[in-house]
Amino acid sequence: MKVVKTALPGVLILQPTVHGDARGYFFESFNQKQFEETTGHNVHFVQDNQSRSMRGVLRGLHYQIKQPQAKLIRVLEGEVFDVAVDLRRSSPTFGKWTGWVLSAAAKQQMWIPEGFAHGYLVLSKTAELLYKVSDFYAPDDERTLIWDDPTVAIAWPAHEGPILSDKDKRGRLLGQAEVFA
């Protein structure tokens, strides 16, 4: 597995070794031992989430404040612009973001440790994502950072919309949001 560091320390892009021939391809999308050796993170995943959305849908920026979740995100179909925002007040990169185009074709994954908000914008006609999380979903614990916060200033790719859920429309600005110590 190849590891690419992003602009935010701790957020990584993982490129698995893909074995392909005339029949198709094979790769290990997750191997605990290899993950720990290459990233330095010891993680225990407790839940897999899968979502499917159409072009222009923007999901996020979500996080759980009391039960933070580390996430390993992979696109099974289509293409998205995937974003992480550092919400650790004690971090030198607090309020900064990094984004990466993830696609089924490239087979890359994004590792987002605890303490970050996560969201994505669907760039293809449809996209299907699978992501592993390190803690269970706790709806009362979930928070949303507004996608277009001018302080964070995410450079989303050009798009119509976006198409947002009611919950995501009510996201908070960074200055009003509950964040991590």
**Positions marked catalytic:** 62, 131
Listed in order, strand segments (DSSP E) in 2-41 are 2-5, 12-15, 19-21, 24-26
Evaluate whether 115 touches 87 at the Cβ level (below 8 Å): yes
Evaluate whether 2 touches 13 at the Cβ level (below 8 Å): no
CA distance to 60, 82, 114, 151, per residue, from 96 (Å)? 15, 14, 15, 9
